[in-house]
Structure 1
Amino acid sequence: MSKLNDRRKEISELSAGEAQNQVKELRLKLFQLRLQQQRGEVKNSRVFAQTRKDIARLLHRLTVLENEQ
């Protein structure tokens, strides 16, 4: 399986609390990436899009969990 499918499967198995924690961690990572970009330290700019997409996947998972209740 591809890394993307592995990540999707991993996210689909998270509980609400775990998903919220990961959203916080990814938002912090995105903030740190922005700071590194300003200093010219970021070599792979694709990391920004991947991080934003992971945040969106987690937020979608949280919405699905809320609707199930």
Structure 2
Amino acid sequence: MSKLSDRRKEVQEMTEGEAQKELKDLRLKLFNLRLQQQRGEVKNSRVFAQTRKDIARLLHHLTELESAE
């Protein structure tokens, strides 16, 4: 399987608490990437898009969990 489908399955299996923690970690990672970019330390700019998409996946999953309650 591809990394993308593995990541999707991983997100779908998370509980609300795990998803909240992961979301917090990804937002911090995105913040640190922006700082590194300003200093010129980022080599792979694709990481920004991947991180933003992971954040969107987690937010969608959290919305689904809330509507299921």
Question: Shared fold (TM-score greater than 0.5)?
Answer: yes
How much is the aligned-residue C-alpha RMSD, in angstroms?
0.3
Q: Give 1:2 shift.
A: 0.1
- Normalised by the length of structure 1, the TM-score is 0.99
Cα distance in 1 for partners of 2:15, 2:61 equals 9
Question: Hey, what does 2:45 align to over in structure 1?
Answer: 45
- Normalised by the length of structure 2, the TM-score is 0.99
Cα distance in 1 for partners of 2:2, 2:68 equals 28
Q: Which blocks of at least 5 consecutive residues in structure 1 are unaligned?
A: none
**How many residue pairs are counted as aligned between the two chains?**
69
Partner SS for 2:42: coil
Partner SS for 2:23: helix
Q: Identity percentage over the alignment? A: 77
